[in-house]
Structure 1
Amino acid sequence: MTFARWFMAAFAALAATAALAATPNWLTVVDTAGGGHRIGNPQAKVKLTEFVSYTCPHCGHFAQEASGALDLYVATGKVQLDIRHVVRDPIDLTAAMLANCGPAARFPRNHAALILAQPRWLPIAERATDGQQSRWYNGPGPARRRAIASDLGFYTIMAGRGYERVAIDRCLNDEALAKRLAAQSRADDEKFNVRSTPSFAIDGTMLAGTYSWSLLQPQLDARL
């Protein structure tokens, strides 16, 4: 190879590397200004909203089926995903608070860790003893949420995300966060009339009869 050809090849490689470096990692771009977590390119052609409850088995099934595939759509910059909590009970609230623990950029993976682990912890919740339910539904909010996190293994899940127990407890003790998440869930219900989970909206319009990736994906593709 002549020097000129070597130089041109090296220049092309450097240009390609620079182009890749200049491309944002849309999966780590998170905007919370609208009350949810908008993940991805703010200029994306398609704006997808997902309404999710951590205690909803169908939401867990959707996450298992779609999380990797949906990430690919967001990663292209063509789809922005807005995840919004549907808070139905203290367990939902506890999981939502842990998903929100730390900087906003950590939310996507916190959320994924909790919802993808649902098959491990939801059966425990469904078989809860009277004593467990008493701890979960009575007393000060922080104590109830710590009991839920302990009984359902949330501390272990969050430890896998790099959180120490003191940091987890700090998030669970945050009453302002608890009130904000509950209020946002009520506001979303009033605005979008969310009747089941998971539910989805594209560009602000709710999708009828859409609860699985096999039903959602064609609707995304049709708009891209």
Structure 2
Amino acid sequence: MRRPLLATFAALAAITALAGPATDAAAQRRAAAVQDWTRVAARTPEGGFRIGSPDARIKLVEYLSTTCGHCAAFSRESAARLIPVHVRSGRVSVEYRNYYLNGLDVAAALLSRCASPAGYFAMTHELLATQATWTARIQSVPAARRPQLQAMAPLQLTGELITILGLDAVGQRHGIGPAARRQCLTQANLDRLEQLHDQGARAGVQGTPTFFINGAIQNVNTWAEIEPRLQ
């Protein structure tokens, strides 16, 4: 009986030896995930979407429009550093709050808000990067069709615009399939988007992009001007 017992103990020792590094590796992966705050996104009570640590020392809020050229420029110019560097470290969090400017913007904003928090950021960045392409599709609407669109109720018009602009395909890439889209495009969510717009106006937002840092509205709106304020 001694040899089988020795063999069992030897096997247990070998398993323990193998398990140690694996456990350490798993712990390191978990620690890395926590340290990389770009993996953490959430809806906020104010109605926006935040990426980064909720306890970040610097909280940047951007009121943005998906049809705003200056918003697209800020997204492009900040892409290499804002989220990959400042947010990743946990020192800065970024919250987007939609501030619609027109009907096209309502359609894009409402649909993007149907995504998961992480999907919302990915879709918003795609919408800003491809802004010129999808907004131009409204020109393809025949003149005879336009009075019909103008006569529609806002929610119905939003649904039509999503199809006309090809936003349904964009949403599909970010996890918003037809069933999810039907379930999400509601009057309640449209009202919430309007409330977010009114909330911004009361806070002093008059155009996009408008930035707040730790609750204070900023008088600048370019990446070259905003980044020094995040240091």
Pick the TM interval, shorter chain.
Answer: 0.7 to 0.9
**Structure-2 separation of matches of 1:163 and 1:127:** 25
- CA deviations over 1:65-84 (Å, ceiling 9, x no partner): 22342212212111111111
Farther-moved stretch of structure 1 (194-203 vs 107-116): 107-116
Instruction: Kindly indicate whether residue 107 of structure 2 is the aligned counterpart of residue 108 of structure 1.
Output: no
1:198 to 179, 196, 209: 209
TM-score by length of 1: 0.81
- CA deviations over 1:72-112 (Å, ceiling 9, x no partner): 22121111111111122222221111111144343222322
1:160 partner amino acid: R
**Structure-2 separation of matches of 1:209 and 1:121:** 28
Change (3 A) 1:153 1:46: same
In structure 2, what is the equivalent of residue 213 of structure 1? 223
1:160-171 equivalences under 5 Å are: 160-171=173-184
1:1-224 equivalences under 5 Å are: 15=24, 18-22=27-31, 23-24=33-34, 25-27=36-38, 28-72=40-84, 73-125=86-138, 130-131=143-144, 133-172=146-185, 174-191=186-203, 193-210=204-221, 212-221=222-231
**1:90·1:136 contact (CA, 8 Å) conserved in 2?**
no
TM-score by length of 2: 0.79
**2:114·2:176 contact (CA, 8 Å) conserved in 1?**
no
Q: Cα distance, 1:209 vs. partner?
A: 2.7
SS in 2 for 1:19: helix
**Structure-1 separation of matches of 2:107 and 2:79:** 22
Percent identity over the alignment is 27
Q: Cα distance, 1:122 vs. partner?
A: 2.1
**Structure-2 separation of matches of 1:79 and 1:132:** 47
Change (3 A) 1:13 1:76: farther
- CA deviations over 1:174-206 (Å, ceiling 9, x no partner): 110000110121112112x11221111111111
**Structure-2 separation of matches of 1:103 and 1:160:** 12
Q: Can you give the 5+ residue segments of structure 1 that lack an aligned partner in the other structure?
A: 1-9
**Structure-1 separation of matches of 2:53 and 2:196:** 23
Q: Cα distance, 1:219 vs. partner?
A: 1.6
- Root-mean-square deviation over aligned CA pairs: 2.7
Change (3 A) 1:21 1:87: same
SS in 2 for 1:180: helix
Q: Cα distance, 1:170 vs. partner?
A: 2.9
Q: Cα distance, 1:125 vs. partner?
A: 3.6
**1:54·1:92 contact (CA, 8 Å) conserved in 2?**
yes
SS in 2 for 1:219: helix
**Structure-2 separation of matches of 1:96 and 1:147:** 14
